Amino acid sequence: MLLSELLPPTRIRIPLGGTTKDDLLRELVGVLHAAGEVGDEDEVLRAVREREAVLSTGIGNGVAIPHGKSPRAGSLAMAAGITREPVEFDALDGRPVNLFFLLVGPDSAAGDHVKALSRISRLVRSDSFRQRLTSAASPEEFHALMVEAEQS
């Protein structure tokens, strides 16, 4: 499973319009709903909010990977985006966030869910890669950067 296959350009938003943590969660879940990847948008949003309440998914260095498990997700699905201005997200390092990856899947996809979280985390450890992603001018450019990173 490649992240770039889970994340076509149609599920990447540049820029995201949300200005609060909850706005961004709602917007990213809405991207998956509009793509037909999740059924009940409110149920999926609730699952993501519940996971976020346990511990912030703001992993630091301006990155957040909100995620949740819901039976309303037919399979593992991913959306991503960049905000123009960093948003307070209760990140572990206390810094605001401008790079977001959302993962949602059913319980049956738990293994792939963990693998995807790990792969995202590994990719965004690189300062230069994060900078390139946040400088992407279009969803297509963002996606191409993901493809390139996975091939190297």
In the annotation, is 113 catalytic? no
H helices within the chain, ranges in order? 3-6, 21-34, 41-54, 110-124, 127-134, 139-151
Q: What angle do CA 46, 52, 56 make, to 5 degrees?
A: 165
The token pair that represents 124 in the structure block: 């965004």
Residue type, 136: A
C-alpha closest to that of 7 among 112, 99, 139: 139
**Containing H/E element for 83?**
strand 77-87
DSSP lists the bridge partners of residue 13 as 81
Catalytic residue among 33, 67, 113, 143: 67
Residues designated catalytic: 67
